[in-house]
Structure 1
Amino acid sequence: MPAIQRFLTRALIALPFATLTAGVAHADWVLSTEPEAVRPAPSNYQIQPQNPPAFAWSRYPSKPPQYYIEVSQNGQVVYTFTADKNWYLPSKAFPVGHYSWRVRPSTIAQWSTPREFDITANSTVFEVPDNSSLRSFVATKPRQVARQLPNNFVPKSQWTPAMLAERKPALDALINEYTYRNVKTVNDADWPILTSGTTTSISTASAADIRTRVNATARQVEAAAMLYRLTLDKKYLTEAITRGDQLANLNINGPTSFKYQDQANRQIALTLIKATDLLYYDIDATRRQWWWNVVDARAQQIYLDLSANGDRIDQYPYDSHGGTNLGFLALISTLSLGNIKNSGLWFDFSVRSYINSVYAWSGPEGGFANGTAYGQYTADYALQLWQPLMAATGVNLFDKPWARGFMQYFAHFVPPGSTSHLFGDENETVPDFRMLKSYAQRFNSPYAAWYVKSISGTEDSLSALMAPYPLPYTQSTPVQPPNAALYPSIGWVAMHSNLSDLKRTSLYFKSSPYGAYNHSHGDQNGIILFSGGRKLLGESGYLDYYNSPMFNDWYRQSKAHNVVTYDKGIGQDVTGNTATLAKNGKVTAFSTTSALDYAEGDATPAYGAAVKSALRRIWYLRGQDAVIVQDKITGAVAHSWEFNVHAAAPITYNSDNSLTITNVDRSVCIRPLLSAAQMPVTYATRSGPAPKPGTYEAHGAYATPSTLSGEFLMLLDVGCKRPSVSMSETTTSRTFTIGGQTVTVPK
């Protein structure tokens, strides 16, 4: 079995590689010409990680009231469904087999082009009951047992010795946090409403202050309410009520409204409904109704936004805040079902939709195109939302194949010992392994058990005290994930010398169909290199504030990344979300063995009309701890092409046209593999903005003379071992022997 198929079968059920570049046979109405519209799925003979699969398609232009879906097998229709939205999630699993499906509007007999998919024995059964069944399940849970808590939840006085051993440290930590945390009273007057619509450092700071202080008060409410449920100490009840009143008193149309700070708005609504759920019989009816009224008003703002323009989130799912807001609405509606007038409307709109769509930032195998920093924040939200949703609805989102793939994505791209995030906004920040460990602990998986065992950090005390007992990861024997991995729908590749070795080499490659959309950057075909936790080749710049001059002119630009640019820093198109989603990249080849990993990316669309072809190939020679990078790029007219190098330590230029980068005790040497006659390139130092305080950055680039087509063929020698290199060539390829390992590179 080929290496890529072994990996995808063992680690995560995903697309067979042959389907990665397969196109739809005939374009039809379900495939919108708008880059931001939802793509039809399943398609391209995909093996479905989830059984039953989720169906999706772009809307028919006239927006019919219903759609009819036919699923066929061996030329016979075996399922028919009716949907009132442009997606459908069957409630029951399909038998193993090969299927095709098509859809048509209820108003006309225009079927879509059939698309085919497979359900295999490796497809995970993940069944979600229909809305009426879910509502009935929620209603069966008595209010004496909070809907958001596991059925086996008991106060501390009833903990077994084993539970005491596992959970008392978390209880002590939460009590200590509650006791010594200085939470300032929140007040509308502290935040003048900024209505200019212009993003500045001042407006960004004001929005951040609202978010930070509301989150701090919300945390105190939830911590106090949970401590009261565990200990029955009245002081915690008093604190929860006092802080809850402060949140309820904030003006729903003021600076914490959806219009001005949607994150604060959703957090207030969720916190108040969580508190009334935990303290249902412990707060008076008048206050409870007051809090419910506030939740009603704030959650309705979320609903009106997501349901605007015929349920916009269904047609245009690539909305970072909108996708998270949908999850908040799902939990708010679940915990308020039967108590708030609009809760049933919200519930039917959001719960199955959220469970179905988590998340738009990758395909069904998991991953996160917006970068690992925002992936980390999403994992934190998952703990806040999925755990109580599971207790209330009986649907465990941690069992969803996407969720398991998301966990494995962290193991590959934020492995043990990582010192910074990767790709996209806030890539310069340090990972918070507490969040990642907490998320991984929810999986009964050998890879999750390995990740939990291998990373540092203690789980957040509040989420730990609300977790199911025992934690699922404890049921599995740890197994290290493969050293190399492709996540095809986001176009990310990880190559490690040994995931379990903190001194390892880690090489990351990205060529993403998401382009520079949302929190992503113009870094298609980009590479990042670490050794022993030291960054050798990295991304440059930092997020001072969103939409700042540095953000627009450097941080997101190709010239700030280890990619090819031309004519002194001109690179990929990062202007406008709609344009950048279409101007993207893709991984077109991947393989892995114990000795050699290989990936190829095509970033041609990312550069726009100026570039006719932009391919990068990388080979990681695991036995030699060395990397070969080949770039081949062709323009519409002649350009000086540039191989950019960004380092977290000084770059030393050597007399043989090579570079040396040494970061404390780790180094890499970079040298051209072709002679000056074969590849006439010159190296020059480049300048960039001042780095983040406390860090160091160096920039440079190898450049070609002005030419229609350029090629770079470089050796990255990790550890500067300077292995012997020999080359033989034919008319179609060059074969390099590097320190005893041979690699053939196409011309």
Structure 2
Amino acid sequence: MFRASITIVRKSTAVAMRALVFTLFLAGGSPFPARAQTCVPGTTPDWIASVPLTTSSVQVRPADCATVEQTPPDFSWPDLSADAQYQVTLTYPDGHTRSRAVARNWINWDDVLPAGSYTWQVQVTNAGGTQSSRSRRFTVGASAVPFLVPDFTVLFDRAVSKPRPRALPDPATAQTIISQRQAALALLYARVDSKLADPLPAEPASTLKAEILALTQEECRRTLEAALAWLATLREEYFVDALRRALNLAAWDPRGSTSYANVDQASREIAWTLALAYDWLFSRLDANQKSLLLAPTLARASDMYYDIIGSRARVAIYPYDSHGNTTLTYLAVICVLLAGDVPEAWVGLRDTLPLALHWTSPWGGEDGGYANGTAYAGWDTGSRLLPWYFLRWAVGVDIAQKAWVRNYGRFIAYFLPPGTPAGAFGDGAEQRLTENWARFGKTYTLFAPSPLGRWYASQLTGEDPTRIDYLLAPPADPAPAPFPDGTPNSSLFSSIGWTAMHSDLSDPARTSVYFKASPYGSYNHSHADQNGFVINAGGERLAIDSGYFDDYKTLHWWQWYKQTRAHNAITFDGGRGQAVYEESGKVGNGVITGYASQPDHDIVSGDATLAYGGALTEAKRSLVYLRPNLVLVYDKLASATPRRWEWNIHALNMMNVVSEQTISIASNGQSLCVDMLAGPTMQFAQTDLFTADPFAALPRQWHGTFSSVELLGSAEFIALMRVGCTATTAGASKTDGVWTVDVGARQVTIDGGGAITVQ
């Protein structure tokens, strides 16, 4: 075992010893010692626990012993069989009960639940008989926000009674929006003017799905821009252009290149555009024009319906479907726009809108987290903003009051803070999506404002103000938006297992440390990077998630980008890592086992043992972030088979090797030094090669590995990462099973039971 007391510098930067001593228990008892554990989740087997689950199966919500921020919470459970009928019984704090029968595996409860403790159980009846689940408990917190979903007949009647255009706010709000966005509207009018004489595009003849989608999206955008320009000005040439483009799209074959079977997103985009054009242009359309728009809309909407709903609402049973869940929202709003004009809208609205309001996002819980990565968080949530506006205007449902939507703003503030050089985790996270971040951050905040969100939006720049989701966003509040006092610099999003730790969230030159141990594992757009970390500082990427999102399931994606070896995580025996769902069918999940935050430090711990698919018997990592610029990383690893252990670190540029235990990373004036304070005898190597290159010729990146020289059945690593390569005296020693790590004037102890103390 290599154990060192490394003097990184000898200059005196001593500070007074912290009086505060905080211990985080990682094993034995609660990992959150500051909270009293008054409810222990039950383990008694019942029919719910016996349902064979796939990765994408619905989970029980609310979880046993949860405290919910929305009242009533969303109730869902695994579907037992195609013939199953259910009865949900809710016991209120005063002991009285209510039961409701449903033919599906979810329910929108129909009254606001006062603060207090509740139990609920689900009885199922099918050909095999009747069974009751065990009771599960939840607590409605005192600050829980009401969100009631009206009966679908009420929603249908509201849609029919709303004067057209349904997909516009009331006249006073519309006038305020127009007056606030005159400059952006002028740019929109100029762009529409420049396209008035353009020939109409033919139906895409390409066989490349990405090309078909891009061509479709561009023409759909031009159609809606012309329609919106007409609504704002009533200029005849804009109406003519919008109508000719809509009719041209309507003529594209729903069974052709843009069919749902071939490119589902393209067909969805066309159906959405035609339904919206029908609503926005309604007052000027004759019967024939309405028919020409409605027929292909219904054909494409029908394909959407039978895919995600069918005979038993597939997307309710298997909600972890990135395209299907978004399609559900679009289809629900299409039915709202067509309600009363076509009989199909009645059934469509009945089967989609209550479900869409229930399953707002399957990618996180009430804390607002989004497990599928920050890039898809923007693309997915951004694409829903217009539908969410329209639901507010057309049927009076304010989805901004739903817990996940309400708290999503915290997620983006912590994981996409102003000035960040990249996103965090998952497909596309390496991309600097400045326009998306600014536009979606601002429009989301206008839709679901909060003090932190208003500050966040005020710091963003670079959006395209002519995009329709921006132009139609709710009116802006001109009041100042200061950074809210008391906002913590770190946050755990427990539903997705992500932690963000910042030196100063309000400072764009901040140091940011991100850590992940997620129950979503490597599913879908998530990667095999449990217990992985990312470090940015001063607007630069330092310890990076490597690789490029050249597309979903490319050779580079399979062989590098998605794999553990591409991340700042543990591998062994030449790059072997965690389970990749698309390869093994195993999710490869991790779990946050402890988190605590104090003004001068944060501690987070994760267990990724299960992610390695049985290859390892222990894979635990803790990060201790000592503000503002020091990060201590402790790994405890074990295997029944001796391994060559590998501690991976990735950077944009070649790393400077000081010794086999110390390296440095530099990028545009920012730096990060990594010192191995303790661990097995190791050697360091780096390369700028991928196991498979991306499609495009993109900049090389550097991949470093501290590897144990010998094969070992277990290993511990203690690394100190110094942002800015700040001179610091540090050392680590182990006595009687307890590690003592001195870092400048601070001391961290890690005992054999997993308790971490910072003083």
Superposition TM-score, scaled by structure 1 size: 0.91
**Offset from partner CA, 1:438-460 (integer Å, 9 cap, x none):** 21222231011110112213464
Tell me the SS of whatever aligns to 1:615. strand
Aligned to 1:724: 729
Superposition map of 1:26-175 within 5 A: 26-31=44-49, 32-34=51-53, 35-61=55-81, 63-64=83-84, 66-73=85-92, 76-107=95-126, 108-143=129-164, 146-153=165-172, 159=175, 166-175=180-189
Tell me the SS of whatever aligns to 1:245. helix
Q: Where do 5+ consecutive residues of structure 1 fail to align? A: 6-13, 193-205
Moved more, 430-439 or 584-593: 430-439
Moved more, 98-107 or 224-233: 98-107
Aligned to 1:466: 472
- Given residue 558 of structure 1, which amino acid in structure 2 is its aligned partner? T
Whether contact under 8 Å (2:648, 2:705) holds in the other structure is yes
- The separation in 1 between residues aligned to 2:721 and 2:225, in whole angstroms, is 50
- The separation in 1 between residues aligned to 2:497 and 2:672, in whole angstroms, is 25
Whether contact under 8 Å (1:683, 1:701) holds in the other structure is yes
Aligned to 2:562: 556
How far residue 473 of structure 1 moved from its aligned partner, in angstroms, is 8.6
How far residue 593 of structure 1 moved from its aligned partner, in angstroms, is 0.7
Tell me the SS of whatever aligns to 1:611. coil
- Given residue 203 of structure 2, which amino acid in structure 1 is its aligned partner? D
Q: Which has the higher contact order (CA 8 A, sep 6+)?
A: 2
- The separation in 2 between residues aligned to 1:331 and 1:325, in whole angstroms, is 10
Q: Does 1:494 align with 2:474?
A: no
Whether contact under 8 Å (2:662, 2:673) holds in the other structure is yes
How far residue 475 of structure 1 moved from its aligned partner, in angstroms, is 9.1
Whether contact under 8 Å (1:444, 1:473) holds in the other structure is no
- Given residue 541 of structure 1, which amino acid in structure 2 is its aligned partner? G
- The separation in 2 between residues aligned to 1:575 and 1:502, in whole angstroms, is 36
From 525, 531, 538, give the equivalent of 2:531: 525
From 234, 240, 253, give the equivalent of 1:251: 253
From 539, 542, 552, give the equivalent of 2:545: 539
How far residue 499 of structure 1 moved from its aligned partner, in angstroms, is 1.0
Whether contact under 8 Å (1:16, 1:47) holds in the other structure is no
Superposition map of 1:64-463 within 5 A: 64=84, 66-73=85-92, 76-107=95-126, 108-143=129-164, 146-153=165-172, 159=175, 166-180=180-194, 185-188=200-203, 190-192=205-207, 206-308=208-310, 310-431=312-433, 432=436, 433-458=438-463, 460-461=465-466, 462-463=468-469
Tell me the SS of whatever aligns to 2:56. coil
- Given residue 670 of structure 2, which amino acid in structure 1 is its aligned partner? R
**Offset from partner CA, 1:94-133 (integer Å, 9 cap, x none):** 1111001001124543110111000121111111211111
Identity %: 32
Tell me the SS of whatever aligns to 1:509. strand
Residues 30 and 459 of structure 1: CA distance in aligned 2, closer, same or farther (over 3 Å): farther
How far residue 321 of structure 1 moved from its aligned partner, in angstroms, is 0.5
- The separation in 1 between residues aligned to 2:583 and 2:397, in whole angstroms, is 34
- Given residue 615 of structure 2, which amino acid in structure 1 is its aligned partner? A
How far residue 587 of structure 1 moved from its aligned partner, in angstroms, is 0.7
How far residue 23 of structure 1 moved from its aligned partner, in angstroms, is 5.0
**Offset from partner CA, 1:172-209 (integer Å, 9 cap, x none):** 121123234597733236224xxxxxxxxxxxxx1111
Residues 520 and 362 of structure 1: CA distance in aligned 2, closer, same or farther (over 3 Å): same
Q: Does 1:629 align with 2:660?
A: no
Aligned to 1:8: none
Whether contact under 8 Å (2:658, 2:664) holds in the other structure is yes
- The separation in 2 between residues aligned to 1:578 and 1:403, in whole angstroms, is 33
How far residue 546 of structure 1 moved from its aligned partner, in angstroms, is 2.3
- The separation in 2 between residues aligned to 1:355 and 1:40, in whole angstroms, is 17
Q: Say what the alpha-carbon RMSD is for the aligned residues.
A: 2.5
Residues 576 and 694 of structure 1: CA distance in aligned 2, closer, same or farther (over 3 Å): closer
- The separation in 2 between residues aligned to 1:473 and 1:682, in whole angstroms, is 57
Whether contact under 8 Å (1:435, 1:459) holds in the other structure is no
Whether contact under 8 Å (1:184, 1:213) holds in the other structure is no
How far residue 88 of structure 1 moved from its aligned partner, in angstroms, is 0.5
How far residue 152 of structure 1 moved from its aligned partner, in angstroms, is 3.1
**Offset from partner CA, 1:370-390 (integer Å, 9 cap, x none):** 100000101211212111111
**Offset from partner CA, 1:417-445 (integer Å, 9 cap, x none):** 11212211112211222222221222231
- Given residue 635 of structure 1, which amino acid in structure 2 is its aligned partner? S
- The separation in 1 between residues aligned to 2:40 and 2:579, in whole angstroms, is 25
How far residue 533 of structure 1 moved from its aligned partner, in angstroms, is 1.1
Superposition map of 1:693-704 within 5 A: 693=697, 695-704=699-708
How far residue 55 of structure 1 moved from its aligned partner, in angstroms, is 0.7
Aligned to 1:585: 590
Aligned to 1:199: none
Superposition TM-score, scaled by structure 2 size: 0.89
**Offset from partner CA, 1:567-590 (integer Å, 9 cap, x none):** 010000104378333x21011100
Residues 86 and 164 of structure 1: CA distance in aligned 2, closer, same or farther (over 3 Å): closer
- Total equivalences in the alignment: 711
- The separation in 1 between residues aligned to 2:294 and 2:81, in whole angstroms, is 39
- Given residue 40 of structure 1, which amino acid in structure 2 is its aligned partner? V
Aligned to 2:750: 745
- The separation in 1 between residues aligned to 2:193 and 2:250, in whole angstroms, is 23
- Given residue 33 of structure 1, which amino acid in structure 2 is its aligned partner? P
Aligned to 1:683: 684
How far residue 528 of structure 1 moved from its aligned partner, in angstroms, is 0.4
Aligned to 1:659: 663
Residues 113 and 474 of structure 1: CA distance in aligned 2, closer, same or farther (over 3 Å): farther
Whether contact under 8 Å (2:446, 2:473) holds in the other structure is no
How far residue 20 of structure 1 moved from its aligned partner, in angstroms, is 13
Residues 255 and 190 of structure 1: CA distance in aligned 2, closer, same or farther (over 3 Å): same
- The separation in 2 between residues aligned to 1:74 and 1:306, in whole angstroms, is 37
Residues 184 and 728 of structure 1: CA distance in aligned 2, closer, same or farther (over 3 Å): farther
Whether contact under 8 Å (1:727, 1:736) holds in the other structure is yes
- The separation in 1 between residues aligned to 2:549 and 2:390, in whole angstroms, is 33
Whether contact under 8 Å (2:455, 2:481) holds in the other structure is no
From 562, 572, 593, give the equivalent of 1:566: 572
- The separation in 2 between residues aligned to 1:22 and 1:70, in whole angstroms, is 21
- Given residue 490 of structure 2, which amino acid in structure 1 is its aligned partner? A
Whether contact under 8 Å (1:449, 1:473) holds in the other structure is no
